[in-house]
Structure 1
């Protein structure tokens, strides 16, 4: 009886020790999990601090390198564009800017920055909205992207179709000089998709 009681006592001790060990392991698991969460929180906090520090630093790269180009661009008195829905005015504006870019030998990546600097009024409001949509779609704003958007807005398809129809039906009048016919032909030619 004593042996049975002793064995029962030993089993109880072993059982309680096992239970304590299990609780200890459970506690260790909780400690490990808490430590992992703290490490993860610390990593997130470090990343956020680094991003905030980067955002608070003055933007040097683009702003500093763009400034000399904008100064040179300004010396050529580029016209502003206010959003006129006149195809000829819009086309002349783009043509004038491209001439300035050619004279300056302007790098491709600077053109859009300088043009955006020259849009005003209604055109500026249009561009701010367009730019937000492009950025939300992850589109890099280049000169070609700007021109595509500009032409969509200020060269409505109906107007382009109308000019193209005029081009396809142009004839030299008998009583008008060839020079005038040629000038009209060249203006309409630019809008033709057939050539």
Structure 2
């Protein structure tokens, strides 16, 4: 029994060491510099094969939620904040829409479900720029942006 306990302890210590090694490596790819840019040091030319980030890891930074609003600047502020969260966590662009739309709630989530059905007729992933365009059409339309810019110009 003592031998089994000792073996279990060795396995447990190995698991803890492996977890620490993974934590030490972090989210950043070894071949990227501190700005998330390719350093060119990829001997095997595999720098393009980055592990996808998990939603759980992304949620650790507590990205803002969005429920929909009539205040256009609130929508713009949310979008800028979610972009900052995605960028800071080095989320691959292919996951931006999935992670950002997870933060939608209530009316905004309902709106997205409808738009998603319209856009996914070819069953492909929706590009980030398409999501951004649709979001701004709904929550910060061009007329509102122009009016906001005019108001800011008058304050100067």
- Which TM bucket (shorter chain)? 0.5 to 0.7
CA–CA separation in structure 2 for the residues paired with 1:140 and 1:74 = 21
CA–CA separation in structure 2 for the residues paired with 1:136 and 1:147 = 18
CA–CA separation in structure 2 for the residues paired with 1:81 and 1:107 = 21
CA–CA separation in structure 1 for the residues paired with 2:72 and 2:122 = 28
Per the TM alignment, residue 169 of structure 1 is displaced from its structure 2 partner at its CA by 3.1
Per the TM alignment, residue 160 of structure 1 is displaced from its structure 2 partner at its CA by 1.2
More helix by share: 1
- Give the 5 Å matches for 1:1-195: 68-136=53-121, 140-171=125-156
8 Å CA contact retained: 1:80, 1:120: yes
8 Å CA contact retained: 1:82, 1:124: yes
Question: Normalization by structure 1: what TM-score?
Answer: 0.49
8 Å CA contact retained: 2:73, 2:140: no
Greater RCO between the two (CA within 8 Å, min separation 6)?
Answer: 2
Question: Normalization by structure 2: what TM-score?
Answer: 0.61
CA–CA separation in structure 2 for the residues paired with 1:93 and 1:169 = 25
8 Å CA contact retained: 1:134, 1:140: no
Partner-residue secondary structure (3-state), 2:62: coil
CA–CA separation in structure 1 for the residues paired with 2:95 and 2:104 = 15
CA–CA separation in structure 1 for the residues paired with 2:139 and 2:114 = 15
Unaligned 5+ runs, structure 2: 1-50
Per the TM alignment, residue 137 of structure 1 is displaced from its structure 2 partner at its CA by 6.3
8 Å CA contact retained: 1:87, 1:155: yes
Partner-residue secondary structure (3-state), 1:125: helix
Per the TM alignment, residue 129 of structure 1 is displaced from its structure 2 partner at its CA by 0.6
Q: Which has the larger radius of gyration?
A: 1
Per the TM alignment, residue 139 of structure 1 is displaced from its structure 2 partner at its CA by 6.6
CA–CA separation in structure 2 for the residues paired with 1:102 and 1:157 = 25
